[in-house]
């Protein structure tokens, strides 16, 4: 098989692979692991109005823009999805994602349920969604404190929001409980590999089979 899970000689359309979870449940860590280890998968780089965090680079982690620029992208329908999160705005540029899918490249999304709903409305056949659950509320709070990125007030807000985010779990194609990071990663990889092999994504399969039949009939 070729990179990205394509059958030899068979073209494949890429897919949008979505990971969502409450803050601290592990979706961003799993996303980093997938990008590092899985061939044929690239990270969707969102635009955002929030300030850069330590260690982040513009164009790598996010495209950091101001609110007027964000509003202009929304107005001109340049975003596949967009949503407010904790007072800031996030969105996915359409053009780069569509170009990747057409060349058989899969695109990974680390977005919330609002963004996932919008992606599904605009490109349902291309979307595969996975919701990551924490093993317990106590574990979720511990992870938020351990990563030391937010104040106690912000963490309290994230915990309060988590219950609402969890209410959307049934809207996803798959659900993974992140009790053990390696096990959760293995499960997510299994989902991605299986989805890559779906018949409807093998866009060159009909021609491949016809040619195979011709060879057999000789």
CA separation (Å) from 63 to 27, 46, 50, 94?
A: 20, 6, 10, 13
User: Given this model, what pLDDT does residue 145 score?
Assistant: 58
Architecture of domain 16-217: 3-Layer(aba) Sandwich (3.40)
User: Given this model, what pLDDT does residue 26 score?
Assistant: 86
User: Given this model, what pLDDT does residue 156 score?
Assistant: 66
pTM (predicted TM-score) = 0.81
**Phi, psi at residue 81, to the nearest 5°?**
-155, 155
Q: pLDDT tens digit string along 139-188?
A: 776 666 566 566 666 666 666 677 788 889 999 999 999 999 999 999 99
| pLDDT exceeds cutoff 50 at 107 | yes
Q: Is 31 helix (H, G, I), strand (E, B) or coil?
A: helix
């Amino acid at each position: 098989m070729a990179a990205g899970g394509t059958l030899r000689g068979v073209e494949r359309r890429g897919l949008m692979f979505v990971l969502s979870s409450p803050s601290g449940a592990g979706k961003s860590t799993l996303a980093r692991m997938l990008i590092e280890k899985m061939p044929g998968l690239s990270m969707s780089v969102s635009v955002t109005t929030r300030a850069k965090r330590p260690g982040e680079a513009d164009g790598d982690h996010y495209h950091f823009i101001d609110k007027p620029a964000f509003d202009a992208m929304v107005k001109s329908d340049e975003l596949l999805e967009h949503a407010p999160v904790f007072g800031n705005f996030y969105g996915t540029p359409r053009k780069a994602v569509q170009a990747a899918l057409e060349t058989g490249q899969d695109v990974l999304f680390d977005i919330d349920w609002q963004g996932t709903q919008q992606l599904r409305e605009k490109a349902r056949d291309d979307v595969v969604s996975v919701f990551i659950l924490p093993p317990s509320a106590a574990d979720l709070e511990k992870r938020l404190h351990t990563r030391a990125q937010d104040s106690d007030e912000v963490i309290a807000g994230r915990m309060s929001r988590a219950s609402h985010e969890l209410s959307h779990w049934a809207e996803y194609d798959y659900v993974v409980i992140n009790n053990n990071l390696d096990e959760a990663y293995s499960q997510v990889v299994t989902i991605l590999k299986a989805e890559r092999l779906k018949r409807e994504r093998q866009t060159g399969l009909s021609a491949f089979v016809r040619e195979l039949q011709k060879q057999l009939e000789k």
